[in-house]
């Protein structure tokens, strides 16, 4: 019981930071504490939330995916061209781009697995490739005028004064819930944790490591594609420069959410709250209106430092009592998290 609580500590801390931050903002700006602001947080960060879910899987497995921002950019350009220039029906274009993204992710996963290359390098190559291709397709912003887009961007569940749960927000919430189920309740999820704990041990346990690795990067790219669809809904256009640097925002959200960068430990919910915290900082800055927007980056950087330090301290504390009583030290939370070893 205590152990499971300790396991949840980082996520609880992130949530507490978010709630405290929201409270603070509400005290400073009376209009802040409204459903409208909460719903805006969901809508405005939907694309980031979706890629952060994929990034959580990748990072827990001990990898990294730097290509997601470029995949979003590529997706928006592809969709705009497919729908506006090539006359592909929007739904078919969605299906097509998700298949392309899946193939792209599977290739990166396969290269990482079979050529035994660091994920950092492979996905960096993927990042340049996807961004380059989107520039090749078009350097201009292309508007998407399809009826479906107008319909989807108008469609929202409205409540209160001006608050609306938009389609992008709904998609993000569905992805977050789906991601939680997949990570915490399925065999695939358990394999992801195992992979992050130790690759060699995972292989010895008879888990299909190549298949899991390929699937993880496929999942990340598909979610990046979905995020690109949401992004194109959000702006009703395709632009090769969209979502530059989103991969780094996603990594920051995942780490702030309590996931260990070395892998083996983390929660989808934490990443979701990490995204909301970043959105909260941005909202605060535009409510203030006189601060430089670069403070958002500074605040995110400070939070990252704080959370990494916090993780190290909790890890350290978790190990201490055992040493003192002379018992063998318990396995790191990574192993506990996926149930490989229980002392």
Partner 1 sequence: MNFKALLLATAVSGTLFAAHAQAAELTVGFSQIGSESGWRAAETTVSKAEAKKRNINFKIADAQQKQENQIKAIRSFIAQGVDAIFLAPVVSTGWDAVLKEAKEAKIPVVLLDRDIDPAGKELYLTAVTSDSVHEGKVAGEWLVKTVGTKPCNVVELQGTVGASVATNRKKGFEDGIAGASNVKIVRSQTGDFTRAKGKEVMESFIKAEGGGKNICAVYAHNDDMMVGAIQAMKEAGLKPGTDVLTVSIDAVPDIFKAMAAGEANATVELTPNMAGPAFDAVIAYKDKGTVPPKWIQTESKLYTQADNPKAIYDAKKDLGY
Choice between 4 and 31, CB closer to partner 1: 31
Distance from C-alpha of 290 to C-alpha of 240, rounded to nearest angstrom: 30
33 binds partner 1 per the rule CB under 8 A = no
Choice between 21 and 330, CB closer to partner 1: 21
**Mask: binding to partner 1, 59-88, rule CB under 8 A, as x and -?**
------------------------------
Choice between 74 and 239, CB closer to partner 1: 239
Alpha helix segments (H runs only) across the chain: 2-28, 35-44, 46-60, 68-80, 90-114, 119-137, 147-154, 167-185, 187-197, 199-204, 209-235, 246-256, 268-288, 295-324, 333-337
Q: Which stretch binds partner 1 (CB under 8 A): 7-15, 58-66, 228-236, 299-307?
A: 228-236
Closest approach of partner 1 to the CB of residue 30, in Å: 10
**Mask: binding to partner 1, 271-300, rule CB under 8 A, as x and -?**
--------x--xx-xxxxxx-xxx------
End-to-end CA distance of the chain: 14
**Alpha carbon 76 to chain centroid distance?**
18
For partner 1, which residue of 14, 40, 212, 220 counts as binding (CB under 8 A)?
A: 40
Q: Which stretch binds partner 1 (CB under 8 A): 120-128, 146-154, 176-184, 214-222?
A: 146-154
Q: What is the DSSP string of 14-69?
A: HHHHHHHHHHHHHHH-GGGSSHHHHHHHHHHTHHHHHHHHHHHHHHHTT---TTHH
Closest approach of partner 1 to the CB of residue 43, in Å: 7
Question: What are residue 116's phi and psi, to 5 degrees?
Answer: 50, 45
Distance from C-alpha of 144 to C-alpha of 94, rounded to nearest angstrom: 13
138 binds partner 1 per the rule CB under 8 A = no
Distance from C-alpha of 174 to C-alpha of 166, rounded to nearest angstrom: 12
Choice between 141 and 314, CB closer to partner 1: 141
- Residues binding partner 1: number (CB under 8 A): 40
237 binds partner 1 per the rule CB under 8 A = yes
Binding site for partner 1 (CB under 8 A): 29, 31-32, 34, 36-37, 40, 43-44, 47, 141-143, 145, 150, 153-154, 162, 231, 234-237, 239, 241-244, 279, 282-283, 285-290, 292-294
């Amino acid at each position: 019981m205590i152990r499971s609580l300790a396991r949840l500590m980082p996520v609880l801390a992130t949530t507490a930071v978010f709630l405290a931050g929201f409270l603070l903002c509400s005290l400073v700006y009376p209009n802040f504490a409204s459903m409208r602001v909460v719903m805006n947080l969901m809508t405005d960060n939907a694309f980031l939330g979706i890629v952060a879910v994929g990034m959580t899987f990748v990072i827990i497995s001990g990898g990294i995916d730097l290509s997601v921002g470029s995949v979003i950019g590529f997706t928006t350009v592809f969709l705009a061209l497919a729908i506006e220039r090539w006359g592909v029906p929007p739904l078919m274009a969605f299906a097509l781009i998700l298949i392309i993204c899946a193939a792209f992710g599977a290739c990166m996963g396969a290269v990482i697995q079979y050529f035994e290359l660091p994920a950092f390098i492979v996905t960096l190559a993927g990042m340049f490739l996807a961004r380059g291709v989107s520039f090749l397709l078009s350097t201009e912003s292309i508007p998407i005028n399809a009826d479906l887009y107008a319909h989807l961007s108008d469609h929202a569940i409205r409540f209160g004064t001006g608050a609306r749960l938009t389609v992008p927000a709904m998609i993000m919430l569905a992805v977050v819930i789906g991601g939680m189920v997949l990570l915490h309740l399925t065999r695939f999820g358990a394999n992801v944790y195992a992979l992050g704990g130790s690759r060699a041990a995972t292989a010895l346990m008879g888990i299909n490591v190549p298949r899991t690795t390929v699937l993880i990067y496929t999942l990340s790219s598909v979610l990046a594609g979905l995020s690109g669809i949401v992004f194109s809904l959000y702006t009703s256009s395709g632009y090769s420069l969209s979502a530059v640097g989103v991969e780094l925002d996603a990594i920051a959200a995942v780490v702030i959410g309590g996931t260990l960068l070395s892998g083996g430990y983390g929660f989808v919910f934490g990443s979701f709250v990490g995204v909301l915290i970043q959105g909260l900082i941005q909202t605060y800055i535009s409510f203030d209106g006189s601060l430089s927007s670069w403070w958002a980056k500074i605040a995110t950087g400070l939070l990252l430092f704080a959370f990494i330090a916090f993780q190290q301290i909790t890890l350290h504390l978790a190990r201490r009592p055992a040493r003192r009583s002379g018992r063998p030290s318990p396995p790191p939370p990574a192993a506990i998290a996926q149930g490989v070893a229980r002392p």
